[in-house]
Amino acid sequence: MIPGSLWEVVVAEEEEDTASHYRPDIPTKGSNQYQEWSQARSDDYVNEYVKDMERLVTRLEEEGEYYQKMAEEHRLAQLAPTVMEDATTASTTTTTATTDKASGSKKSTSLPPKQKPMHSKSIPETYSSPGPTVTLYELLLDAYALSTLKTTNDSFSPPNALSLLTHIDSIYQRIVQRHDLDGQYQNTHPQTIPTSITYNAILRIIANGSYIPSSQNTISNLPQMDIPTQKVRDQALLMAFQTYEMMEASDAVHRNSCTYEYLFQILQTYIPPCRSRGNILRQYVHQACEEGVMTVSILQNLKLTCDKKDGLDYEEWMSRMEEEFHLTAVEDHDDDDHKGAATKDLPLKWRRVAKKLSHKSGNGFY
């Protein structure tokens, strides 16, 4: 599968070994030629891997819907004899009452108690059909997040980028639909309850998505930006902010450090440097501190997004942050000692739940 993804079954290495054993045209494993061949093979097949995963999820959905349809037909078939028996009993009772009325007798006839069938057609469908679990959807979103890394700015295509964002939104809607059918906020089935991976994977896809080069993403170039590119920008920002707010509205997940890390990348990619971007960045920094999920990685991204065009107030504030928390030392040194020292310099209330809210199966990305 895609290297680095959360997909648990890794078969790529075994396939390469088998292919090398039976195909002499494949370079020897470990050689420079093999590295080039392996990289080219990975680039060529990455989209096929994602498509295979998509087809698997779609097939599970279709089989689940078919199973639910067959189960409903079986239930109605069992219900039919009970309905016919009730109809026969009602007809007999009506005839007796008519005969008594015609004879002029005042004898009262007690109607037999109506028995309620065990099953009824009016039972609402309050459960999702058997099908993909939320984990399988998250693996698919993770694969899309990694596949977008293969795209560069030179190959930016507004129609393809917009199509990807629309498709990702449709996957999320399928997840929400299954969650709603199982009771929404009363859902007790962990297989259909979205997790932080669900939302952060969407943000990661948007952050990794292709867009125009940063040299062209300026305020002065906005009037010359074509309509398709504007649609990609607007859709990406809309999905990002909606995802951020949906995590706040959810009672099953909480925003964590990765949420803000990808959000800062999105702001850096799709919003040109300006005072408005500086104000937005600063507001989200305060929000991350209040929620206790601030980390060194987020501070590093703040340095990357810092620009003089983001406003004088933001630049001065960022300078104070850099001086107080030694952001330069964090970026220049890769050893754990320097990173640990910088992390301890952060106030405890800023990072109190940073580790706790990180997804245990997210491999550090969610």
Percent of the chain with pLDDT over 90: 24
Mean of per-residue pLDDT scores for the chain: 76
Question: Could you tell me if 56 and 203 lie in one domain?
Answer: no
| Domain total of the chain | 2
**Does one domain contain both 150 and 264?**
yes
Report if residue 254 sits inside a domain.
Answer: yes
**What does the CA dihedral 362, 248, 210, 267 come to, rounded to 10 degrees?**
-120
**For residue 26, what are the contacts with CB-CB under 8 A and spacing of at least 6?**
16, 19, 20, 34, 37
Residue with the bigger pLDDT between 182 and 205: it is 205
On the question of pLDDT at 331 being above 70, the answer is no
**265 Cβ contact partners less than 8 Å away, ≥ 6 residues apart:** 207, 301
User: Each residue of 259-300: pLDDT tens digit?
Assistant: 999 999 999 899 999 899 999 998 999 999 999 999 877 887
Q: Are residues 13 and 158 in the same domain?
A: no
Q: Is the pLDDT of residue 330 over 80?
A: no
Lowest mean pLDDT among 5-9, 236-240, 261-265: 5-9
Cβ atoms of 188 and 126 closer than 8 Å:
no
pLDDT(326) > 80: no
pLDDT at 200: 94
What does the buried/exposed string (b/e) look like for 113-146 if buried means 16 or more CB atoms within 10 Å of the residue's CB?
A: eeeeeeeeeeeeeeebbebbebbbbbbbbbbbbb
In whole angstroms, give the CA distance from residue 137 to residue 3: 18
- For 67, the domain range is 1-101+119-131
Domain contains 108: no
Please check whether residue 322 is in contact with residue 328, taking contact to mean a CB–CB distance below 8 angstroms: yes
* pLDDT at residue number 50: 84
| 273 & 149 share domain | yes
Looking at the fold, whether 186 and 65 belong to one and the same domain comes out as no
**Which pLDDT tens digit goes with each residue over 131-146?**
889 999 999 999 898 8
Check whether residue 126 and residue 146 sit in a common domain.
Answer: no
Per-residue model confidence (pLDDT) at position 74: 83
Range with top average pLDDT, 61-65, 171-175, 178-182, 184-188: 171-175
Are residue 124 and residue 196 in the same domain, yes or no?
A: no
- Is 366 within a domain? no
| In a shared domain, residues 243 and 303 | yes
More confident residue, 186 or 168: 168
CA 244, CA 199: separation in Å to the nearest integer? 8
In this prediction, residue 323 carries a pLDDT of 77
The answer to whether residues 148 and 87 belong to one domain is no
With respect to residue 301, please indicate whether it lies within any of the assigned structural domains.
yes
In a domain, 361, yes or no: no
Helices and strands (H, E) in the chain, number of each type: 12, 0
- Mark whether 177 and 220 lie in a shared domain: yes
Looking at the predicted structure, is the pLDDT value of residue 106 above 60?
no
The pLDDT tens digits for 299-312 are: 877 877 778 888 88
Say if 358 falls within a structural domain.
no
276 and 331 co-located in one domain = yes
- % of the chain at pLDDT higher than 70: 67
Q: Is residue 360 part of a domain?
A: no
- Are 153 and 38 members of one domain? no
Question: What is the token pair recorded at 262?
Answer: 């990808």
Confidence of residue 65 (pLDDT cuts 50, 70, 90): confident
